[in-house]
């Protein structure tokens, strides 16, 4: 497993762009399984990374973030609570 943390959240804001967010993720973050879907006021993010705090910081710069979930997939693979 290359990336340890499954990071999920919602971003609420004005003039959000799925394409711009995807582009920023692919050029600034190491990770995989990126999902950035929604509309110009609400975007759902799903991303596997080793640095979820950077994802949260960037997303918070775009608007209000909520429903934040960061799960440790290594712990989950060992049968532990992630």
The CATH number given to whatever domain includes residue 32 is 3.30.70
In a domain, 82, yes or no: no
The pLDDT of 39-66, averaged and rounded, is: 98
Split at pLDDT 50, 70, 90, the class of 5 is very high
Q: What is the pLDDT of residue 19?
A: 96
Q: What is the pLDDT of residue 81?
A: 84
Q: How far apart are alpha carbons 75 and 58 in whole angstroms?
A: 26
In a domain, 14, yes or no: yes
In the chain, how many domains are there? 1
Q: What is the pLDDT of residue 33?
A: 97
Is the separation of the CB atoms in 3 and 32 below 8 Å? yes
What are the two backbone dihedrals, phi and then psi, of residue 51, each rounded to the nearest 5 degrees? -130, 70
Is the separation of the CB atoms in 33 and 73 below 8 Å? no
Q: What is the pLDDT of residue 1?
A: 76
Split at pLDDT 50, 70, 90, the class of 34 is very high
Where would I find the beta strands (DSSP E) of the chain?
A: 5-12, 32-38, 42-49, 64-72
Q: What is the pLDDT of residue 4?
A: 97
Identify the domain containing residue 64 by its residue range.
Answer: 5-77
């Amino acid at each position: 497993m290359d990336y340890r943390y499954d990071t999920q959240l919602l971003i609420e804001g004005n003039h959000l762009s799925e394409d711009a967010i995807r582009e920023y993720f692919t050029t600034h973050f190491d990770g995989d399984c990126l999902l950035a879907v929604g509309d110009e006021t609400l975007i759902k993010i799903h991303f596997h990374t080793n640095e979820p705090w950077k994802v949260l910081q960037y997303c918070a710069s775009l608007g209000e973030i909520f429903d934040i979930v960061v799960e440790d997939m290594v712990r989950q693979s060992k049968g532990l609570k992630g």
